Amino acid sequence: MWDAEANDFVQQAPGAPILDPNNYKYELQCHLGGGDFDSVCLRDQVECTNGPDGEDGIPVIWYSMPRGVPGAVWAIHSGPTCLYDARPEDLLPQIAAQIQQQFESLPINAGAVVAQPSPNTLRGAETNFYADASEQQFDVTMLGQQVHVVATPVQYTWNYGDGTVFGPQPSMGGPLPQDRWGEKTRTSHVYANTGDFQVVLTTSFQGTYSVNNGPPLPIPGQGQFSAPPQTISVWRSITRNYADDCNQNPQGQGCPGVASSR
| The residue count for the chain | 262
Residue 238 pLDDT level (bands cut at 50, 70, 90) = low
Q: Which of 15-19, 65-69, 199-203, 208-212 has the lowest mean pLDDT?
A: 15-19
pLDDT at 100: 93
Look up residue 205 and give its amino acid: F
Within 10 A of 256 (CB to CB), how many other CB atoms are there?
Answer: 6
Cα 220 to Cα 216: distance, rounded to the nearest angstrom:
13
Mean pLDDT of 88-92: 62
Cβ burial, residue 85 (10 Å; 0-12/13-18/19+):
buried
pLDDT for 7 equals 40
Task: Give residue 54's pLDDT.
Answer: 72
3-class secondary-structure state, position 223: strand
In angstroms, the Cα distances linking 258 to 249, 253, 254, 262 are 11, 6, 6, 13
Q: Full-prediction pTM beyond 0.75?
A: no
Using the predicted structure, report yes or no on whether residue 46 has a pLDDT greater than 50. Answer: yes
- The yes-or-no verdict on residue 111 having pLDDT over 50 is yes
User: What sign has the CA pseudo-torsion 18, 19, 20, 22?
Assistant: positive
- Distance between CA atoms of residues 123 and 234, nearest Å: 6
**pLDDT computed for residue 88 by the predictor:** 53
Q: Is 30 helix (H, G, I), strand (E, B) or coil?
A: coil
Question: In the structure, what pLDDT confidence band is assigned to residue 35 with cuts at 50, 70 and 90?
Answer: low
Of the candidates 76, 84, 96, the one whose C-alpha atom is nearest the C-alpha of residue 12 is: 96
Give the Cα separation of 225 and 256 in Å (integer): 43
